[in-house]
Structure 1
Amino acid sequence: MKHIRNFCIIAHIDHGKSTLADRLLEFTSTVSERDAQAQVLDNMDIERERGITIKSHAIQMDYLLDGEKYVLNLIDTPGHVDFSYEVSRSIAACEGALLIVDSTQGIQAQTISNLYKAIEHDLHIIPVMNKMDLPNAMPDEVEDQILELIGGKREDIIHASGKTGMGIENILRAIVHDVPPPVGDSAKPLQCMIFDSVFNSFRGIIAYFKVVNGEIRKGDLVKFMATGKEYHADEVGVLRLEMEPRKMLGAGDVGYIISGIKTSKEVKVGDTITHVKGGCQNRVEGFEEVKPMVFAGVYPIDSDDYEDLRASMEKLQLNDASLTFEPESSAALGFGFRCGFLGMLHMEIIQERLEREFDMNVITTVPNVPYIVHTKKGEQVEVHNPSGLPEQTIIDWIDEPYIHAQIITKSEYIGQIMNLCLTKRGEMVKQEYLTADRVELSYNMPLAEIVFDFYDKLKSISKGYASFDYQPIGFKPAKLIKLDILLNGESVDALSTLIHFDNAQPLGRRMCEKLKELIPRQQFDIAIQAAIGSKIISRETVKAVRKDVTAKCYGGDISRKRKLLEKQKKGKKRMKQVGNVEVPQKAFMAVLKLD
């Protein structure tokens, strides 16, 4: 065990984690030149196209130092705030972390929040300053920021470049010398912690785990403690670029197990694997349940695909444990699921993965956050969906979730960012200058206000320089009302939202205007209305497609024309009674992007 090192890479978005991981793999000859490509570990198409890491990726490397061979288990983690659950799981499986800071941008919000997670788990931190080959690097300033954040000596900070390969050897030496080997005992009963799993259509479910204590061999009869199910370990092995089978894995190793599991409910991230005979009694601690931040309905476009969608979601949930879902139905869209996501990017990625990996076309409703409704009888109801709101007459008050937001930005953008936070009902907690031109702003804000477009606006105001991170801080009472959208007097439940009283009027007006552009014209007038309870606050009309019925009347008395027009009027009226209005998918999407 003293030759094993488990470490992960943590950093803010675009600070060069995946590129640096590529260089480490090349330097240790884990990846042959033939297999080498940019972002080797990002194996999803979406990750490559967007240039972001969505999943943590574990890989094992061998490294020779001073005549001794070391086994290094590396986990590359995502940097985006929406995938922070992946980071916390990776940290639980490691003893050390490479903290990577971009030498051209300095420390940003996500760097700090990931660092605190690593320190909570007592990981050894190795600071690395990346992108040192760029002409606009600011080594002295960024070094000062790192020392202020984690202390230590200036010479401990490794200067590196993922592009040129500078400093890679120093990083590997630091990992071997400074990161402690895993603590565990091969003689104790088997205890393995599952930190990830994937679905393979040929081999069933493959679980990735770290052996905390004991040994696991091929063919052992093992038990998953959360479900109590027993399986034979058909194959165990380590994670190289491909999976490599081994006869045995001992304490401290990171590997995978294939045991022919077919149903996804039987594998839970954070579960413990042990032997059926002489196994351990207690589970490994270290995982907290994930709390979704954004809820949205996901419905199949064709209602016959409901069961297929359920199967697809279960397989996705295996690979992304932060996705939660439960069945629900809607009058407008039929049967579907109420899904919980960690943020808007997470929601977008899930929708895209459903389309690409499972060929499922889905409609996503307007996202919202969970509210707690207090009734006049003294009961508390948690509401995830505006249609689940009790009658207005029995509601006493509604609590909405608040977050504590940290924004780090250049000082020249402070005014605009403060303005943005005020429009989003933010309350300033503190303002702190980290250096002469970098400021950290702390705000308490309602989660509902940042769900939609806060991050996009922040980026455009600050020309991409501001970074943002948040933690939930509980619920506070708010003046919320339900805004309904009516088409020809019929409420469309998929478009209704819970919104703060002050914002209801402008949002209702904008939604009606947007829907007027997007709903195709029919043979009859369509009234689009925004309503609060029974009070209509805005209206737009999609005019009917006009057919000239009087064209064949070429003269004669006016009463002949009127007769034809009256006949048409009756037909339109009947059509309006029986005709229903289809809301296209792009109308749902456009409502999300309202500015």
Structure 2
Amino acid sequence: MQNNIRNFSIIAHIDHGKSTIADCLLQTCGSVASREVSAQMMDTMDIEKERGITIKAQSARLIYHNAKHEKYILNLIDTPGHVDFSYEVSRSLKSCEGALLVVDASQGIQAQTIANVYIALENNLEIIPVINKIDLPAANPDSVKQEIEEVLGLDCSEAILVSAKTKQGIDDLLEAIVARIPAPKIDNTQPLKALVYDSWFDNYLGALGLIRIMEGEIKKGNMVKTMSADKSYQVLGLEYPHPLHKEPTNILKSGEIGILNLGLKSVTDIAVGDTITALENPTKEAIEGFMPVKPFVFAGIYPLDTDRFEDLRDALKKLKLNDSALQFEPESSIALGFGFRVGFLGLLHMEVVKERLEREFGLDLIASAPTVVYEVGLTDGGIVLVQNPSELPPEQTISYIKEPFVRASIITPSEFLGNVITLLNNKRGVQENMEYLNQDRVMLTYALPSNEIIMDFYDKLKSQTKGYASFDYEPIGYRNGNLIKLDVRVAGEVVDALSVIIDKSKSYERGKALVSQMKEIIPRQLFEVAIQASVGNKIIARETVKSMGKNVTAKCYGGDITRKRKLLEKQKEGKKRLKAIGKVEIPQEAFLAVLKID
């Protein structure tokens, strides 16, 4: 029976129909009754369904009877499409023998498609090209086939043409999965070796792991251990995965996938990419490729109501149970009060976490500008990692500052090429390659500083290309940068939450934009308020919020002019004293508005 197992994944760019094809396979194999059918059954979060994206990968065990009435077990291992979750994608693909490459018949290859195909090729997977949405009026399957062959070098002579919406071609796809994807290598005699490719938190059972058995077998009641942490646990339960109803089992054998319950209290105890083995007869080598998940983007998150700081702490702890990539530590800001410095995998991850905190825990939050980790070399030879501009050492002690870079792949229609190159040059990009995929589309490869893409790069790219460009990136290490810290001073005091680390050549225009924006937002006081942008002690831009006029001479009806002058002098003295001791309250909207500055 184990020779009739097929482990496969679906890889695609966002919105190319991956979740819809997964739903079709579930329905066609009879894994869900007609009354249980809903859109995006493999997506469990409301945010996933609203945005049409997969954030948390799901798996399902399907029973399929082919044309010859032979029974097959198809293990569908769904993967997230977004670049922020590429490590999860790599672990999921490590658990498969094959992959369905889904490409939209009207849009062709996009940037993330290429990135995920390369991960699949590294793992020696059998890739079946699937051209989806062939029912659309703009569909051009032949052109897409040619593009896949030229760009990726995959043979498309037997590509499967489907429409997940109308279910056309789904039966052909199932037959292709059975015929073309190889069965897993079966070896039940070796010691247990299982790969954890996903984990999540269940309110009743604790942290659960999705595992693929590479060698050996695992039984309920066995003692096992995790190889990275070297901790041992008893197997409390095993199940076959399904998005709606799980099926308990007492044993998982080589080649199978299943859900492992060890009674753990946090997903950090069962890390994605870790190897599970038997306690008494362990395997000699762990499955290669494991690495702890590292945050890529950092931001301060603060409650709008400062009394809800403890509620925010509890909410982050609960979210951390489900999301091992989330890292946070308390921090305080003079302007925003008490909050947390939170590490994320990327901007989408940051958006999703903030939205979940607000929805699921009823919090009103404000996030500071996202930053990356800088490597700062000191004059005494030491090296410090800085993720918050306020942590930057004094200027005279800094020898150099290195910033993280990414290699960005952008696919754009050729008519927008000039716009995209101008945008990349403005973001300090260095061109590495330019390749025409066909006469209408171009692929650009650029090295870009990470801090240039974390704010609004994706939005600008979409607006410059009318939404047609696609974008993908991978970290490529640190490079030297001509970087400085830019501060904003309000009434002479530095507002720490508005400090940024920025390229020196952009400091003047950024400083000017900051103070101009702040001038519009800060309410007028009874005294003049100076808003300044500074680098060290040097002021590079300034705006002044005029004082509120109060007519102190209104009560004087005629009389000697000296009486009016005396009142005006008294007012002048009062304003001078106010300016020295007065405090300026900075409204919360100021921080939101500053995030939108180009």
- Tell me, yes or no, whether TM beats 0.5: yes
Q: Tell me, what secondary structure is at the counterpart of 2:36?
A: coil
Does the C-alpha gap of structure 1 residues 247 and 578 become closer, same or farther in structure 2, counting only changes over 3 Å? farther
227-236 or 500-509, which deviates more = 227-236
450-459 or 547-556, which deviates more = 547-556
C-alpha distance in 2, partners of 1:293/1:452? 13
Query: Post-superposition shift, 1:556?
Result: 4.1
Q: Is the contact made by 2:267 and 2:323 (CA closer than 8 Å) also made in structure 1?
A: no
- The equivalent of 2:196 in structure 1 is 194
C-alpha distance in 2, partners of 1:6/1:591? 48
**Which residue among 358, 362, 374 is the counterpart of 1:359?**
362
38-47 or 187-196, which deviates more = 187-196
Q: Within 5 Å, which residues of 2 pair with 1:361-400?
A: 361-400=364-403
C-alpha distance in 1, partners of 2:464/2:437? 20
Q: Within 5 Å, which residues of 2 pair with 1:395-410?
A: 395-410=398-413
Does the C-alpha gap of structure 1 residues 577 and 194 become closer, same or farther in structure 2, counting only changes over 3 Å? farther
C-alpha distance in 2, partners of 1:573/1:244? 76
Q: Is the contact made by 1:8 and 1:90 (CA closer than 8 Å) also made in structure 2?
A: yes
**Which residue among 536, 541, 545 is the counterpart of 2:539?**
536
Q: Deviations over 1:508-546 (max 9, x none)?
A: 111112222233444544322111111112222334444
Is 1:130 the counterpart of 2:160 in the alignment? Answer: no
Q: Is the contact made by 2:114 and 2:152 (CA closer than 8 Å) also made in structure 1?
A: no
Does the C-alpha gap of structure 1 residues 212 and 483 become closer, same or farther in structure 2, counting only changes over 3 Å? same
- TM-score normalised to the size of structure 2? 0.92
- The equivalent of 1:144 in structure 2 is 146
Is 1:258 the counterpart of 2:261 in the alignment? Answer: yes
C-alpha distance in 2, partners of 1:305/1:270? 36
Q: Tell me, what secondary structure is at the counterpart of 1:2?
A: helix
Q: Tell me, what secondary structure is at the counterpart of 1:114?
A: helix
Q: Deviations over 1:479-508 (max 9, x none)?
A: 111100111111111110011111111111
Is 1:320 the counterpart of 2:329 in the alignment? Answer: no
One-letter identity of the residue aligned with 2:271: K
Query: Post-superposition shift, 1:216?
Result: 2.6
**Gaps spanning 5+ residues in structure 2: where?**
none
C-alpha distance in 2, partners of 1:64/1:594? 58
Does the C-alpha gap of structure 1 residues 152 and 229 become closer, same or farther in structure 2, counting only changes over 3 Å? closer
Q: Tell me, what secondary structure is at the counterpart of 1:402?
A: strand
**Which residue among 316, 340, 352 is the counterpart of 1:337?**
340
One-letter identity of the residue aligned with 2:289: G
One-letter identity of the residue aligned with 2:160: I
C-alpha distance in 2, partners of 1:126/1:269? 26
Q: Is the contact made by 1:126 and 1:157 (CA closer than 8 Å) also made in structure 2?
A: yes
- The equivalent of 1:473 in structure 2 is 476
54-63 or 582-591, which deviates more = 582-591
Does the C-alpha gap of structure 1 residues 524 and 41 become closer, same or farther in structure 2, counting only changes over 3 Å? farther
Q: Is the contact made by 2:88 and 2:272 (CA closer than 8 Å) also made in structure 1?
A: no
C-alpha distance in 2, partners of 1:35/1:553? 81
C-alpha distance in 2, partners of 1:192/1:497? 45
C-alpha distance in 1, partners of 2:575/2:35? 68
Does the C-alpha gap of structure 1 residues 35 and 95 become closer, same or farther in structure 2, counting only changes over 3 Å? same
Does the C-alpha gap of structure 1 residues 209 and 318 become closer, same or farther in structure 2, counting only changes over 3 Å? farther
C-alpha distance in 1, partners of 2:392/2:154? 53
Q: Tell me, what secondary structure is at the counterpart of 1:448?
A: helix
C-alpha distance in 1, partners of 2:554/2:98? 82
Q: Deviations over 1:159-200 (max 9, x none)?
A: 111111111111111111111222342333333222222223
- The equivalent of 2:20 in structure 1 is 19
Query: Post-superposition shift, 1:561?
Result: 4.7
Q: Within 5 Å, which residues of 2 pair with 1:155-554?
A: 155-242=157-244, 243-302=246-305, 305-554=308-557
Does the C-alpha gap of structure 1 residues 513 and 244 become closer, same or farther in structure 2, counting only changes over 3 Å? farther
- The equivalent of 1:94 in structure 2 is 96
C-alpha distance in 1, partners of 2:70/2:340? 54
127-136 or 559-568, which deviates more = 559-568
C-alpha distance in 2, partners of 1:244/1:547? 76
Q: Is the contact made by 1:30 and 1:241 (CA closer than 8 Å) also made in structure 2?
A: no
Query: Post-superposition shift, 1:356?
Result: 1.9
Q: Deviations over 1:436-484 (max 9, x none)?
A: 2221222222222222222211111111222222222222222111100
C-alpha distance in 2, partners of 1:449/1:319? 30
Q: Is the contact made by 1:14 and 1:79 (CA closer than 8 Å) also made in structure 2?
A: no
**Gaps spanning 5+ residues in structure 1: where?**
none
C-alpha distance in 1, partners of 2:531/2:168? 61
One-letter identity of the residue aligned with 2:142: D
Q: Is the contact made by 1:196 and 1:319 (CA closer than 8 Å) also made in structure 2?
A: no
One-letter identity of the residue aligned with 1:455: Y
C-alpha distance in 1, partners of 2:317/2:184? 33
One-letter identity of the residue aligned with 1:36: V
Q: Is the contact made by 1:264 and 1:314 (CA closer than 8 Å) also made in structure 2?
A: no
71-80 or 159-168, which deviates more = 71-80
C-alpha distance in 1, partners of 2:382/2:98? 47
C-alpha distance in 2, partners of 1:308/1:230? 34
C-alpha distance in 2, partners of 1:311/1:254? 33
Does the C-alpha gap of structure 1 residues 132 and 577 become closer, same or farther in structure 2, counting only changes over 3 Å? same
One-letter identity of the residue aligned with 2:229: T
- TM-score normalised to the size of structure 1? 0.93
RMSD: 2.5
Query: Post-superposition shift, 1:281?
Result: 4.6
C-alpha distance in 2, partners of 1:358/1:336? 16
C-alpha distance in 2, partners of 1:185/1:565? 94
- The equivalent of 1:35 in structure 2 is 36
Is 1:46 the counterpart of 2:62 in the alignment? Answer: no
Percent identity between the two aligned chains: 54
C-alpha distance in 2, partners of 1:267/1:152? 36
**Which residue among 110, 113, 122 is the counterpart of 1:111?**
113
C-alpha distance in 1, partners of 2:585/2:232? 50
One-letter identity of the residue aligned with 1:412: E
Query: Post-superposition shift, 1:409?
Result: 1.5
Query: Post-superposition shift, 1:76?
Result: 2.3
Is 1:3 the counterpart of 2:4 in the alignment? Answer: yes
C-alpha distance in 2, partners of 1:571/1:72? 80
Q: Deviations over 1:21-63 (max 9, x none)?
A: 1111111122222221221222211112222222212122111
C-alpha distance in 2, partners of 1:402/1:157? 37
C-alpha distance in 2, partners of 1:273/1:314? 26
C-alpha distance in 2, partners of 1:377/1:560? 65
One-letter identity of the residue aligned with 2:71: K
Q: Is the contact made by 2:200 and 2:267 (CA closer than 8 Å) also made in structure 1?
A: no
- The equivalent of 1:68 in structure 2 is 70
Q: Deviations over 1:197-245 (max 9, x none)?
A: 2223333222222222333333333333333444333322121123332
Does the C-alpha gap of structure 1 residues 265 and 329 become closer, same or farther in structure 2, counting only changes over 3 Å? farther
Number of residue pairs aligned between Structure 1 and Structure 2: 595
Does the C-alpha gap of structure 1 residues 258 and 547 become closer, same or farther in structure 2, counting only changes over 3 Å? farther
Does the C-alpha gap of structure 1 residues 245 and 541 become closer, same or farther in structure 2, counting only changes over 3 Å? farther
